[in-house]
A and B are shown apart, each in its own frame.
Chain A
Amino acid sequence: MSRKSFPFRSTGGELRDLDQPGYYPGYSTLAQQKSWDDATRKAVTERVEKTPPIRFFSEEEAALLGAVIDRVMPQDDRSEARTIPVLLVIDERLFKNALNGFRYENMPPDQEAYRIGIKAIDEMARSRFKQHFVDLTVHRQELILKSLHDGNPDPENAIWRRMPVHRFWALLMEDCVTAYYAHPWAWDEIGFGGPAYPRGYMRLENGLPEPWEKPEQRYDWNAPVDSVSVLDKEGAPPEHGSLHGHGGSH
């Protein structure tokens, strides 16, 4: 993994090498696994214990996509031992060609979309900064990726004329969060209760924790001050890149 640390200068102090970021210190969903059903325990613990090898991407592609993921789903604050595998999960999906049930008519198949998408990112890096993407500083990597996020690739690249940049961005981001927020360490970070069968929940109102959950302990967690991936002050763009949600929650 090509992890590179930011100069952390947040008011909350230096945030790096944390075993557990977030506001729920000491909370562990995995510690509750004796209360889970067998099938769920197996699925979740395998996610933590077994990480698949890279089988779809070439070594070079893996390094490149890994560098992209380190910026769009950054984990510099996490300790090496508590880094959540994202690249490996995406590689496995593409290796198995596991689909999500649809493809936009103007998008290539997922496997090809990734190959040409990261190729475009590297070409953009070389054309703008005369270096491969993996060798750029964190800030320059973010500038390239921010332009994709904004839907205005800078510099332009021919690949974005045959693949809509906002669709590629959504594909990449959704795969990243599907890997990251499916991991029990991420559940600990955000205070999600995790699997709850057969025990269930009793305290439904007022955001109260179950006896085995932890109360929130807020502190001033700030993203690195020089990152361009922090949220805009005014919040959301009104219709972000005409994206439509894929969450499926009705």
Chain B
Amino acid sequence: MPHRLGPMQTLPSPMRRFAENETVDYCIVGVGSAGGVLIQRLARAGFRVVALEAGPFWDTEKDWVSDEKSSHELYWNDLRITGGTHPLALGSNNSGKGVGGGSVHWAAFAPRFHPSDFRVYTEDGVGADWPISYWDLKPYYELLEREIPIAGPAWFPWGDPHGHPYGPHPLGGVGDVLVRGCTRLGIRSVAGGPVAILSASHGDRPHCIYRGFCLQGCKVGAKASTLITHVPDAITHGAEIRAHSMASRISLCDDGRVDGVVYIDREGNERFQKSRAIIVAGYAIETPRLLLNSACPGHRHGLANSSGTVGKYLMAQAGNVVAGRFDQLIRLYKAPPAHALSEEFYETDKRRGFARGFAVQTVGPLPVAFAKQMIAAMGAWGWGLRSVMMDYNHWATIGVLGEILPWEDNRVELAEEKDQYGLRVAKVTFNLHNNDKKLIEFGKKKVMEIMWAAGAKQVVQESRFAHLVGAARMGNDPATSVVDKFGRSHDIPNLFICDGSTLPTQGSANPGLTIQALAARTADYLIKHGDAIFFSNHRDLAEPGIRYDLSPPYTRFKGIPRIA
């Protein structure tokens, strides 16, 4: 049987296999949102690339199901320790394992960051500025919106207003509630996107069937994951993806450059992949963990950590969920969880008494997730739980997505405990600060107001967090950041980081699209500099110029509407 990627697409076969002792140009650790885009670009440009992925290489027909409980394996379920004043739930909440990474189970909201997100310190005196501006990233947003591609309104009014290449999705019950509540309060909202879900078929991927199992991995192939958008093209162009390969250590040479990755294969054997340059793309916990676990003479506190910032400035977004009970039926399990939103409160408004803001977005918990929300939001148990769950179809859920600022004390460290590979596990500490608390309080109340305005008869809310970024941030100053604006570590010229961990701030936008746009930009930089990356210590900080000839098939001739 061919390896299936959705009902129409198959994995190109055979995949190239590099010999055991072969030196490759790039070894990429992690094939998620960033790793998938990177390996595709580098392979197309003719580099010899191997990617190590800790999890399986999914066959969507065999491995994925329309079922909450049996989708457990999509997440990073290995042990991590979580603490601080507001400990983050990890696992299913914010991590992926397997080719495609978190993009396999993201809800697929795909808004861009706003121009202000790149200048938070300049504008508000908090957080940090990015070493790049929105305008540096804009062409990559536009390109990735066509590659993925994104469905959404022709006119998205916030930040840098823009349109989307695929049309918006029809509204489900929850989107209807969001739009109705916002409309009654005079709050602008958009519906049917922006989401990385097909509203019409695209190449060998069919359009959405509105079954609501986005977070369980899209068997339909309508929701984008790098597994189906970029990985097949990478394989076609000669890349190798080694699944079930857990990177344990990056190896450093006497000349101060890295020369390969030690990893543990499926059978538990330790192996070494020699590589001329290395890109770590393991996301906000595994990336700093690998760097810290790679400590060696000269890098006592972890690789690329002369600044001491590896693991620090970790961010999650406030993800409070407000649930409203309606007399009429909603049936919130239909349609993608992600399908309507408002960014009316995204920017700083001094009158609110805190910096930055939040987005308002639909969420669509299936029964197990909804029951967990009722346990937290209502203290439901026993007969109370049974009876509130019997009303499942009467509830609608809307989420706050709030910007929590980067704080030094929110961090990833190594715990003493070890995992099944004998590697020290990550310890994650998360504390809310004053600005964060005020923002969450305001956001929560505003969304409850929207829910009441939509006609809910009862409104409750649950505190939670969503997404993870930071912990290996980019910046111009090697004393306060880990990598430069192209993801190259300040300390080691042939070691790069490219994933959500390099974000200096996070805005109130879901990070997936931005992570992929940054990956495409890093790839362009690497491709432009060619072999110099492998030999030279010279750091050229000029913009590489965007390459439009390296996209996966079906990208060209897709227009983005521009309606002034």
Contacts and interface: CB of A to CB of B under 8 A. Distances in A.
Given A230-B387, A250-B466, A104 B83 contact: yes
Residue of B93, B107, B381 ringed by the most chain A CB atoms within 10 A: B381
Interface string A191-212: 1111111111111111111000
B459 to A, nearest CB: 9
Contact of A236 (B61, B328, B378, B467): B378
Interface stretch (A52-60, A114-122, A219-227): A219-227
Given A22-B390, A204-B335, A205-B172, A102 B79 contact: yes
Contact of B91 (A101, A170, A202): A101
B427 to A, nearest CB: 7
A241 B463 CA distance: 11
Contacts of A203: 334
A227 B382 contact: yes
B65 A173 contact: no
A208 B335 CA distance: 13
B381 A229 contact: yes
B22 interface: no
B351 interface: no
Contacts of A44: 65, 67, 70
B241 to A, nearest CB: 22
Contact of A244 (B62, B69, B87, B467): B87
Contacts of A177: 368, 371-372, 375, 385
Contact of A102 (B89, B171, B365, B385): B89
Contacts of B95: 101
Interface in A41-64: 43-44, 47
Given A192-B367, A223-B386, A174 B211 contact: no
Contacts of B172: 204-205
B377 A249 contact: no
Interface in B38-63: 61-63
A206 B387 contact: no
Nearest to A6: B383
B363 A231 contact: no
B331 interface: yes
Interface stretch (A68-76, A127-135, A154-162): A68-76
A204 B170 contact: yes
A40 interface: yes
Interface in A98-128: 98-106
B375 A201 contact: no
Interface residues of A, number: 83
Nearest to A187: B367
Given A22-B390, A105-B82, A37 B61 contact: yes
B452 interface: no
With most chain A CB atoms within 10 A of its CB, the pick from B95, B220, B376, B462 is B376
A14 interface: no
Nearest to B79: A99
A240 to B, nearest CB: 4
A201 B211 contact: yes
Interface in B359-414: 361, 363-373, 375-390, 392-393, 397, 399, 401
A39 B393 contact: no
Contacts of B510: 250
B281 to A, nearest CB: 19
Interface string A137-161: 0000010010001000000000000
A34 interface: no
Given A231-B388, A249-B399, A196 B209 contact: yes
A198 B221 CA distance: 11
A224 B377 CA distance: 23
A198 B379 contact: no
B447 to A, nearest CB: 13
A237 to B, nearest CB: 5
A13 B277 CA distance: 72
B77 interface: yes
B368 A39 contact: no
Interface string A233-246: 00111011101111
B558 interface: no
A26 interface: no
B376 A193 contact: no
Contacts of A201: 209-212, 334-335
A149 B67 CA distance: 29
A134 to B, nearest CB: 17
B77 A100 contact: yes
Interface string A8-26: 0000000000000111000
A206 B61 CA distance: 32
Contact of A74 (B80, B370, B382): B382
Contact of A190 (B88, B367, B463): B367
B392 A192 contact: yes
A100 B92 contact: yes
Given A105-B83, A231-B378, 4 more contacts: A73-B382, A101-B78, A204-B335, A248-B89
Interface of B: 7, 61-70, 72, 75-83, 86-95, 107, 109, 170-173, 176, 209-213, 215, 219-220, 317, 319, 321, 328-331, 333-335, 337, 361, 363-373, 375-390, 392-393, 397, 399, 401, 427-428, 458, 460-467, 510
24 contacts: A43-B67, A72-B385, A98-B77, A104-B83, A170-B375, A177-B372, A186-B367, A189-B390, A191-B331, A192-B393, A197-B209, A204-B170, A204-B173, A229-B383, A237-B379, A240-B376, A244-B89, A244-B465, A246-B92, A246-B93, A249-B321, A249-B337, A249-B369, A250-B401
Interface of A: 21-23, 36-40, 43-44, 47, 71-74, 98-106, 142, 145, 149, 170, 173-174, 177-178, 180-182, 186-187, 189-209, 216, 221-224, 227-232, 235-237, 239-241, 243-250
